[in-house]
Amino acid sequence: NAGVTQTPKFRVLKTGQSMTLLCAQDMNHEYMYWYRQDPGMGLRLIHYSVGEGTTAKGEVPDGYNVSRLKKQNFLLGLESAAPSQTSVYFCASSMGGGIYEQYFGPGTRLTVT
Amino acid sequence: AQTVTQSQPEMSVQEAETVTLSCTYDTSESDYYLFWYKQPPSRQMILVIRQEAYKQQNATENRFSVNFQKAAKSFSLKISDSQLGDAAMYFCAYRTGANSKLTFGKGITLSVRP
């Protein structure tokens, strides 16, 4: 099992460019999440999904869109990148809520210049 | 809104000693769950330990244990016999029973002195 994988691992964008981050999990998990991590801020939830075809906003959703067309994939899109979106992005998945553990991907470091 | 507070940004411990990382949370819920995650320099987030609020017994995982004080809304992590590999950032997290979302604290950086 690969667990949770993220593509790409690093990316540099110019302001205004767009990109999509791909998250894939092979654990048949229902729930998937996108976080961003900034120094001194912990992990903040961007968007999440509780099943195929569903998405919901998290704490910091502005400037991002997501799609969950297949259960195993969760895509995060930036339509017009801004320097404020420079961050490390983590994807996670879990079997459910409650006591279930979230499994994290290795992260994507994105720099917007 | 639910909040998780980790008031100490950094801590240091001597190898083989014991260290306690503090965490407090704010909630009006009675059904919730608490977690500690570790993030080493590799950046990979790893679950260290978890606790159900309805359980009075403190969770333990080998050298890691928690001190769960429900009335005080406190959930501290104790690391015994600290090892160099324990050096990492540690995040406290909270989730209500009905919620799929985790709320994270800002983290604490733990260094281990040889």
Least confident segment among A81-95, B72-86, B95-109? B95-109
- Give the distance from residue B32's alpha carbon to the nearest chain A alpha carbon, in angstroms: 7
Confidence (pLDDT) at B79: 98
A97/B contact by beta carbon, under 8 A:
yes
Between CA A101 and CA A5 the distance in angstroms is: 16
Backbone angles phi, psi at B87, to 5 degrees: -65, 120
CB A48 within 8 Å of CB A34:
yes
Arithmetic mean of pLDDT over chain A: 96
Is residue B98's pLDDT more than 80?
Answer: no
Confidence (pLDDT) at B1: 64
Q: What's the whole-number mean pLDDT along residues B38-59?
A: 95
pLDDT in tens, A48-76: 999 999 999 999 999 999 999 999 999 99
* Cβ–Cβ gap A45/B102 under 8 Å: yes
Chain A residues whose beta carbon lies within 8 Å of the beta carbon of residue B99: 97
Using CB atoms, which residue from A92, A97, A99 is nearest to B52?
A99
pLDDT in tens, A5-50: 999 999 999 999 999 999 999 999 999 999 999 998 899 999 999 9
Confidence (pLDDT) at B87: 98
Residue to mutate among B6, B31, B101, B103, with most A CBs inside 10 A, is B101
Count of CB contacts below 8 A, A vs B?
A: 52
* Helix, strand, coil content of chain A in percent (nearest 5): 5, 50, 45
* Cβ–Cβ gap B104/A40 under 8 Å: no
Residue to mutate among A27, A43, A45, A90, with most B CBs inside 10 A, is A43
A104/B contact by beta carbon, under 8 A:
yes
Confidence (pLDDT) at B111: 98
Q: What's the whole-number mean pLDDT along residues B47-66?
A: 95
Which one has a higher pLDDT value, B98 or B85? B85
- Give the distance from residue B18's alpha carbon to the nearest chain A alpha carbon, in angstroms: 24
Sign of CA dihedral A102, A57, B2, B42: positive
Confidence (pLDDT) at A90: 98
Confidence (pLDDT) at A88: 98
Residue to mutate among A55, A74, A100, A102, with most B CBs inside 10 A, is A102
* Cβ–Cβ gap A31/B97 under 8 Å: no
Tokens representing residue B16 in the block: 């083989």
Q: What's the whole-number mean pLDDT along residues B55-67?
A: 95
Share of chain B above pLDDT 90, in %: 87
Share of chain B above pLDDT 70, in %: 97
Confidence (pLDDT) at B30: 85
Confidence (pLDDT) at B96: 85
In chain A, whose CA is at the least distance from the CA of B50?
Answer: A99
Which one has a higher pLDDT value, B26 or B30? B26
Q: What's the whole-number mean pLDDT along residues A73-84?
A: 97
| Distance (Å) of CA B64 to CA A53, A57, A72, A95, B60 | 39, 34, 32, 24, 6
Torsion angle defined by CA atoms of residues B54, B56, B59 and B64, in that order, rounded to the nearest 10 degrees: 130
Reading phi first (left if > 0) and then psi (alpha if -120 to 50, else beta), residue A25 is in beta
